[in-house]
Amino acid sequence: MSKKKILMLVGDYAEDYETMVPFQALQMIGHWVDAVCPGKTVGDYIQTAIHDFDGAQTYSEKPGHRFTLNADFTAAKEEHYDALLIPGGRAPEYLRLNPEVIALVQAFDAAKKPIAAVCHGPQLLAAAGVLKGRTCSAYPACAPEVRLGGGHYAEIGIDQAHVDGNLVTAPAWPAHPQWLAKFAEVLEQ
């Protein structure tokens, strides 16, 4: 396995497990992960949220952790990284309004570098216009955005993941074992 440098785009109220678990697991297997957030610098933190499936019609939201950033968004350039990772939660909802974030996602896609997105992360992919003609998974409530972005929504189990070329997606954190394993495979191609 070759060591890769991965950029992780996060923001306040990113899903806790979808932020903390990939950040730690990818480092555990030897990769370097830079976690960045627009408007914040190294040493700042984002507030995460825990989304759980506890019997309501949709997920519930509870306070998560303070996740400390280890890199600056202003220094994040596609050419410095081998891959991009986008956690879900509420962060993609407002990160997609930032033109610099959109340009960064588009640059990774144009370079055909691996992109992993989970849960609401594909909202950012749809906003960046990188889903046209591609198939991806997302949290089921994001299926209309995937389709409106020109993509095909993969209806898979909550614990499954989907690969379409350089794009690795999953519906939510229960898919971490498959999602991260498939992302690690794509990183090696």
DSSP secondary structure, 119-155, as one string: TTTHHHHHHTT--TT-EE---GGGHHHHHHTT-EE--
Confidence class for position 53, pLDDT limits 50, 70, 90: confident
- Convert the pLDDT of each residue in 165-174 to its tens digit: 999 999 999 9
Q: In whole angstroms, what is the distance from residue 65 CA to residue 170 CA?
A: 22
- Convert the pLDDT of each residue in 107-131 to its tens digit: 999 999 999 999 999 999 999 999 9
**pLDDT for 1:** 72
Alpha helix (H) ranges present in 38-130? 91-95, 99-110, 122-127
Q: In whole angstroms, what is the distance from residue 172 CA to residue 118 CA?
A: 6
Q: In whole angstroms, what is the distance from residue 67 CA to residue 19 CA?
A: 8
Tell me the percentage of the chain whose pLDDT exceeds 70: 100
Q: In whole angstroms, what is the distance from residue 166 CA to residue 45 CA?
A: 29
Extract the tokens encoding 126: 């749809």
Q: In whole angstroms, what is the distance from residue 124 CA to residue 160 CA?
A: 20
**pLDDT for 114:** 98
Q: In whole angstroms, what is the distance from residue 21 CA to residue 161 CA?
A: 16
Q: In whole angstroms, what is the distance from residue 48 CA to residue 37 CA?
A: 12
**pLDDT for 59:** 85
Segment 158-166 mean pLDDT: 97
Spacing of C-alpha 48 from chain mean position:
14
